[in-house]
Structure 1
Amino acid sequence: MSNTEARPVEMECGGQTDGPSSPDIEILTPRDVPLGGPRAMRVRRTLPQRARTLIGAWCFADHYGPDDVATAGGMDVAPHPHIGLQTVSWLFSGEIEHRDSLGSHAFVRPGELNLMTGGHGICHSEVSTPATTILHGVQLWVALPEEHRDTARDFQHHVPAPVPLDGGEARVFLGTLAGESSPVRTFTPLLGAELTVNPGAGLTLAVSPDFEHGLLVDSGDVTVDGTALKPAELGYAAPGRDTVTVTNHGQDTARLVLLGGPPFQEEIVMWWNFIGRSHEDIVRAREAWQAETDRFGRVEGYDGDRLPAPELPNATIRPRKNPGAR
């Protein structure tokens, strides 16, 4: 999972600012981002953005597809590094081959979670397989807290069972929802689940009032607590509520991804595929990757060169804090 922008923006992303809770749903609209070269795969990015940089420890959300790989070219992301984060791969259709410097060789398939921890340093590659005709899913990052940001590299795979609900279904890949808990380890409390809502039905879900939540709409004519959200939009719900209601007003099944966690209080610096606490953290990580040191290891089995790091911007890092709840 990579940010392959040629000129990634360097950001200092702040801890949550204080503000009163509100029943309103804040709508975050995506921006279109090309990943790669002339036949670039395009994604819709809702995190980070100026309106909001984190939801809990979730700090990066790309939504892509459904793409016909014969036209769009599929996914072919060469070995690239990560520090200070966990990557979450979740597909709706297609298949992606994953290789990393831990020695993991795995496949991302619909309804199956692949979670990779790149604390002090890891690198990996991602390639859609020849069997893939339609590629469709989300790519997510989780920021590691200070005490764990240099943790050892790790890889976990989990297949969550579908949980029947009155009006739909959930697949809980991280955290706990509807009485189902994921065994996958995270370093802050998190919630991650795929929701499907039957035509004309509604789901009312009990959630933690200590969490803020984001609902990313993949498909359907839906409202979240009465606020209409279009496909690819992300609805943000501030802490303070103990239920979230999703209603499908359409004639087809709706699908959403629910993210949540307590407000992340630490300031982080994000640039390219790195999350640190200072500009110097980013500089050191980039230098280590370019010098091919042991910090990131090597990916075996990828047919091609590694991805070089972009040039660092000649700019001062400016704080970009989350606003308080409105």
Structure 2
Amino acid sequence: MTNHDPHPVEQVCVAGPAADVELVEPRDVPLGGPRAMTVRRTLPSKARSLVGPFCFADHYGPDDVAATGGMDVPPHPHTGLQTVTWLFEGSVLHRDALGSEQVVVPGQLNLMTAGDGICHSEEATPALFPDRPVLHGVQLWTVLPESARHGERAFDHVADVPSFAVDGTVVRVFMGALGGVASPARAYSPLVAAQVDVPAGARVTLPVDAAFEHGVLVDTGVLRFEGHDVERSWLAYAPPGRDVLVLEAGDAPVRAVLLGGAPFEEPVLMWWNFVGRTHDEVVEARAQWQASLTGDAAGLARFGEVQGYDGPPLPAPELPNVRLRPRER
């Protein structure tokens, strides 16, 4: 529209917050049965079920394990997913049905691929790690696509995670590829996961894949993301279409985890520790896990057993009295 004012006031136009950015609030959830620790969960939520293939995001700590007992999750099953353990402080001992026994520390990755079925335990207690009194990190899951979800189970430990620096910000790429570096961790669909450390007062422009949707989970500090302030433990989501993401730190440094991937278009049904496609799949997986606890051969063949954990496995909760339905994007 034409402005007929002969003496218009000069105005400087700046970009405002991106309207398509979603902010997902965390909720407190007990993790691990009778000896549960509390985590802050943003995926899945009512607002958002997935970011690329990432279907689950828990943020925990910093937790004084001497005061709280730390993490003690008995053997439990998984199907159709990968578990991704990434720490900021402390140590976690992973054991699984493959016979893996691996401690993970900050800067390293533990990655377990469930395939058709596996079980594992996770421990971070004062007795195990008296010299690491603080536990602090994230646990993520990725959905396996149809081509891999009935495949073999596997475990990978990546001790040397690639990194790069841009605008004073350090980026550690523990899954997928970003900034010209690529993680050796196995992945079954296009994705990325990275720790991003932004110095106080800094602004960084990250080049990203425009075909990906992205989420940023804030660990410390307050992040300015695409014009929005994102508080600690919140997740900011941006849909596909951006080839850069702009992150800014305020007066304090920001540490965040960047998640991304091509939108996952297959149906995803999540219940307890199982990821499948249909109600009947989950019912069968639960029944076989419960049967394995009594020594059933078919259940043990599917999920295996964890050796070395001091205590019984977790039984599955009762199914709800409704048919489970896949989550919608």
Q: TM-score by structure 2 length?
A: 0.88
Q: What does residue 311 of structure 1 align with?
A: 318
Q: Distance in 1 between matches of 2:223 and 2:173?
A: 20
Q: 1:179 Cα deviation (Å)? A: 1.2
Spell out the pairing of 1:166-245 with structure 2 (5 A cutoff).
Answer: 166-245=167-246
8 Å CA contact retained: 1:89, 1:114? yes
Gapped regions of structure 1 (runs ≥ 5): 1-21
Q: Counterpart of 2:287?
A: 287
For residues 269-323 of structure 1, what are the alpha-carbon distances to aligned partners after superposition, in whole Å with 9 as ceiling and x for unaligned? 100000111111001111111111211011111111111111111113245412x
RMSD (Å), alpha carbons: 1.3
Tell me the CA shift for residue 176 of structure 1: 1.0
CA shift for structure 1 position 130: 2.4
> Structure 2 stretches of 5 or more lacking a match?
1-17, 293-298
Amino acid corresponding to residue 206 of structure 2 in structure 1: L
State the secondary structure of the residue aligned to 1:310.
Answer: coil
- Shift in Å, 1:72: 1.8
Moved over 6 A (4+): none
- 1:232-275 deviation digits (Å, cap 9, x = unpaired): 0000000000000100012x321000000010001111000001
**Whole-Å separation in 1 of the counterparts to 2:177 and 2:154:** 22
Kindly indicate whether the alpha-carbon contact (under 8 Å) linking 1:213 and 1:261 is maintained by their aligned counterparts in 2.
yes
CA distance in 2: counterparts of 1:151 and 1:38, whole angstroms: 32
* Structure index of larger Rg: 2
1:301 equivalent to 2:308? Answer yes
For 1:199 and 1:255, the matched residues in 2 are separated by: 10
Counterpart of 1:253 in structure 2 is 253
Q: Aligned in 2, Cα 1:122/1:255: closer, same or farther, shift over 3 Å?
A: same
Q: Return 23-32 or 36-45, whichever deviates more.
A: 36-45
**What aligned pairs does 1:1-326 form with structure 2 within 5 A after superposition?**
24-36=20-32, 40-128=36-124, 129-131=128-130, 132-158=132-158, 159-250=160-251, 252-292=252-292, 293=299, 294-318=301-325, 320-322=327-329
One-letter amino acid of the counterpart of residue 278, structure 2 = S
Task: Name the amino acid aligned to 1:148.
Answer: A
Give the number of the structure with larger relative contact order, counting CA–CA contacts within 8 Å between residues 6 or more apart: 1
* CA distance in 2: counterparts of 1:269 and 1:319, whole angstroms: 4
Asked if structure 1 preserves the Cα contact closer than 8 Å seen for 2:163 and 2:181, the reply is no
TM-score normalised by length of structure 1: 0.89
Work out whether residues 33 and 73 of structure 2, in 8 Å CA contact, stay in contact via their aligned partners in 1.
Answer: no
CA contact (8 A) 2:169 2:198 kept: yes
SS at match of 1:116: strand
DSSP-derived class of the 1:214 partner: strand
How many residue pairs get aligned? The number is 300
